[in-house]
A = this chain, B = another copy of it.
Amino acid sequence: MTIQKNIYVNGIEQNIFVDPDTFLVKVLREQIHLPGTKVGCGEGHCGACNVIIDGKLVRSCVVKIGRVANGAKITTIEGIGTPTNMHPLQRAWVKHGAAQCGFCSPGFIVSAKALLDTNPSPTREEVRDWFQKNRNACRCTGYIPIVDAVMEAAKALRGEIPVEDLDYKYQPGAEIWGSRYPRPTAVPKVTGTIKYGADLILDLPPDRLYMALVQAEVSHANIKGIDYSEAEKMPGVIKVVTHKDVKGNNRINGLAFPSNKGDGKERPILCDKKVFQYGDAIAVVLAQTEAEAHAAAKKVKVDLEVLPAYLNLIAAKAPDAIEIHPGTPNVYFVQPHIKGEDTAPIFARKDVVIAEDYIITSRTPHMPIEPDVSFGYIDPDGCVYVHCKSIGVHLHKLMIQEGLGLADDKLHLVSNPMGGTFGYKFSPTVEAIVAACVIATGRPCGLIFNYHQQQQYTGKRSPFYTKVRLAADKSGKILGMETDYDVDHGPYCEFGDLLCLRGIQFLGACHDIPNIRGEGRTVCTNHGWGSAFRGYGGTQANFSSEIVADELAAKLGIDPLEFHLINTHYPPKDGKPGSTNPSGQELCSYSYKQMLEDIKPYYEEAKKRAKAESTATVKKGVGIAAGAYGCGLDGPDSSNAYAELNPDNTITICTAWEDHGQGADMGAVGTAHQTLKPMNVCPSRLKFTWADTRNPVSGPAGGSRSQVMTGGAIRVACENMLAGLKKTGGGYYDTYEAAKLAGVPTKYDGTFSVPGVPLNENGIGKPFMVYMYGVCLAEVSVDINTGKVHCDNIVFNIDIGKVNNRSVVDGQLYGGVAQAIGLALTEDFEDIQKHRTMLGAGIPYCKDIPDTIKLNYYENPREFGPHGAAGVGEIPLCVPHPAILNAIYNACGARVTRIPALPERVLEALKAKK
């Protein structure tokens, strides 16, 4: 069915031939070749696909082209401004760091344009209302920089400020360290000209194949047969790939710890014997068009023997539960924790006050706006290239190459410019499947997940089921802690052992707790395999202990902030060591006390406000929490980089620091610029690189290690460059020609290592050499009739060492706080069907996040951080959510011990209180 449609897109007439049922976004992207309009959720929940049709803002992923009027005038991001001629909105977006991963930026900018076209002078609240009403979702920024950008662009458009005020003005010779210098990828992001994976797939050569997965629709089963004979006969089908086509051992190597009872190789690339969770990939249909691939995928018949599905760890630990991976117990990893004195006698003392609770965290979905995407091809040397959203290219290469049966020099992974991952891409997702299809067909293959696949078949934050007991004396001083927790890691163990350690490391980490006894375990289940998520483990652990600490303060009758101050860490003094964290390690910055004291005025004011503004039905409250997170992997860690002076006098800062929106671009350029200061390099000369296994091994971009570790490697490389290019009489050979004439090298390697010590069998060590710290105050309103909670205000005091780039770091914190609010109140992936959409899974929109998030920095330099910097990404996902839960308690006395604190859970807790 084809019709001709006449439309004007960005002022240009288009006469296109289309199936009238095709969605407009597909027409714009694939037929009119304007890939600036993005497909996020694909069902009208995120606004990444916003365009303006005849003056009206429209989500083009839900509008069929047949319903667009002939002659309609459509504006896409490409029609708003170009890199060399940006619209004030785009310039303001750059200035305010409103594009982080940038995937939502085109949709937001188009939306803002539609708003300002009709209301040139909106208030902040009107801007927020607009984005809320139009369901513009951003997962990176916490919305505040976006609203800032709209407000300032509107001013410029009204002529109240010069348009030039929207641009960053670099003064030659100036430092950019600590400044708001715009990230290098900002302009292509705000103009829709950067190409993400799904855009690059559109540019694949004409022999490219479309992939459709055949996925399990049960959570646990034995596979008795796969019949794809009918599918292979379907039109356009080139091949159906199953586990039989995978050349290696068909396993992702989960890199299990020696103490893991599994071997870490239980995750198949394509299922062979069993289905372990809903969505597991069983076969792939490769066809010449997307429609053909999907039509044929429906014809693949899988013969399954359905087994009992253990959808949480309680079910999987039941005595009658079978082993999900036969031969490996469902509880496959155990880590004890022994610090200080035995706690049993402490808890037995009569003069102590004890609080204890059982806290359950959610199987949180990452909900990037960009769904997972990957493609691959074989180069003329027979090497398989996989382009993807990997945030650990070298790590993932190691994890998949044996499964694929590829020699080390026959596989390369490359990071696309990509939307946020928030950690889920610390695990490989579709990379091995894409590679297997490329190998099986010899042709370029690409796969773009729809949002249901994104939700159902990528890793999730693993729930912790945690019992915490705290004992304090009457003065409020914590004497000891006892912990006991299980991690529901889903069916695949990769890093499930590592995650378990995070409980040891971060339960009670913000308090001086001299004596700890505890045990953590990782459990295999059939639901949502565990992958990294910003704050990894710390999110779950700190939440549990901060709830119980709040309970303890209440029991003691001590104000929670006061309780924090009583128990806060103290530095070494007069030759005496400082207090230590749960791993027995001294802190790298004893800033808690200052941060707690400085939050007091806000706290007092907030308490007054809560009292004044509470009504009979809406109760307001204030909560406090603190927390820490480590920057690095566990134990010794190192990273590599090089700096190279190019013939055009640019300097490439080459690393494999993956940029998933967190700012690897700015991280690399900022760190290098600061190091190269003696050479007086204009920042525009510095070029960062997208991650690639052909680049130096920098280690993965997870656990906030990159600014510390790869930043360190960049610092060393640049210091080596300075030394190498230094003239004996002073000055530098700072041009390529000068260096070549002087005969000095133009390329300089840099390696940076830290002397970490992994946790020992008792959970003691120095897993990280750099930590970040934070103290958070949250204000909430609780509707005690409906149970609905709104977070009204956040004050966040943070010590992340020296700040590399203020816009990037602000953005990380605003965005992290927004995710913490979602985590606390709405986000979940427990119900496989209901939670497969953004809306269903509770993504926070603009008005779910307060417009007031106050950030106060404590820039205490870190010994092991380049130019004193630590990381930042995790701290906002370790602290605000317990502050919010504690604020709910403060508001209405409802102690919610399971997140998200959905209305029904709040109501239940209110009832329990009575």
Contacts and interface: CB of A to CB of B under 8 A. Distances in A.
A1 B379 contact: yes
Contacts of A288: 236, 288-289
A238 interface: yes
Contact of A1 (B12, B194, B380): B380
27 contacts: A2-B379, A2-B444, A3-B379, A4-B414, A11-B83, A11-B84, A12-B188, A12-B193, A13-B188, A15-B195, A15-B200, A16-B203, A17-B203, A17-B204, A17-B375, A18-B205, A19-B205, A20-B380, A31-B203, A32-B203, A33-B33, A33-B203, A207-B289, A207-B291, A207-B292, A235-B238, A236-B288
A856 interface: no
A737 interface: no
Contacts of A19: 205, 207
Contacts of A204: 17, 31
Interface in A288-317: 288-292
Contacts of A207: 19, 289, 291-292
A290 B22 CA distance: 24
Interface in A29-50: 30-33
B83 A2 contact: no
A206 interface: yes
A203 B288 CA distance: 16
Give the most central of A12, A30, A290: most B CB within 10 Å: A12
A633 to B, nearest CB: 29
A85 interface: yes
Give the most central of A194, A205, A206: most B CB within 10 Å: A205
B2 A205 contact: yes
Interface residues of A, number: 51
Given A17-B203, A207-B289, 20 more contacts: A1-B379, A1-B380, A2-B444, A3-B379, A4-B414, A12-B83, A12-B193, A15-B195, A16-B200, A17-B204, A17-B387, A17-B444, A19-B205, A22-B205, A30-B206, A206-B290, A207-B291, A236-B288, A288-B288, A288-B289
Nearest to A83: B11
A377 interface: yes
Contacts of A377: 2, 17
A385 interface: yes
Contacts of A188: 12-13
A205 B17 contact: yes
A414 B15 CA distance: 12
A209 to B, nearest CB: 10
A83 B11 CA distance: 8
Contacts of A17: 200, 203-205, 375, 377, 387, 444
A206 B387 CA distance: 23
A19 B378 CA distance: 10
A614 interface: no
A515 interface: no
A115 to B, nearest CB: 22
A233 to B, nearest CB: 13
A194 B11 CA distance: 11
Contact of A378 (B2, B12, B84): B2
Interface string A184-227: 00001000011100001011111100000000000000000000
Nearest to A12: B193
A252 B11 CA distance: 40
A453 interface: no
Interface in A414-445: 414, 444
A762 interface: no
A385 B4 contact: yes
A14 interface: yes
A383 B782 CA distance: 62
Nearest to A18: B205
Contacts of A205: 2, 17-19, 22, 31
Interface in A492-537: none
